[in-house]
Structure 1
């Protein structure tokens, strides 16, 4: 499985390392359905999308460094984490304990960059369409 490593370093960041993976379509669908169920029948689409995005971010995280405030990731100790561990509000590896608000903003941005289709991407692909016979 291909993963990408980032150092969440800078003002307002945790200084922690994180390794992320891209999700496949069934995982994205599962996250949306889970978010819709948790949000309930009275939830707005915005409520569902916020929950979906958070769920997807949790699913993307494979590993985190054991320590925060690292100057470099060279030689850092890494720990694999599961979606369930990150979700567990009582656990020592819960998302809110590991990551700052600024970390979260970066992780959400990576989710959107990797999994949402931009207008430019759609136009570039649509512009390559050719009429063919479909016999």
Structure 2
């Protein structure tokens, strides 16, 4: 797993979490919410929480989660509502690094980025590990 602010591909400040997964592995929603911005070409999608998430370090806030290298489950589309823990798709073998150099990683992985809402219209990037309740 490559974590927050670790080097990944040629990216010195990695703003997400890369979870090494074999291609075809199941991927599950981290929060209940609405699927938005699914792009079948880049295999990326976003889920915006349908209600505020209780963050262990702060008050409840809405979150937006970006997943990359994920093929959306058949039957799911932009605008659909999913529940936390529901299967949303499978990991791909794309290995996209999303750099200007068009690099590929040396392993299959799912990339996760988390954004937390601090007012009605803006989200700030946060370490995805903040959603893990110990």
TM-score by length of 1: 0.27
Structure ranking higher in helix proportion: 1
Structure ranking higher in strand proportion: 2
Higher relative contact order (CA 8 A, sep 6+): 2
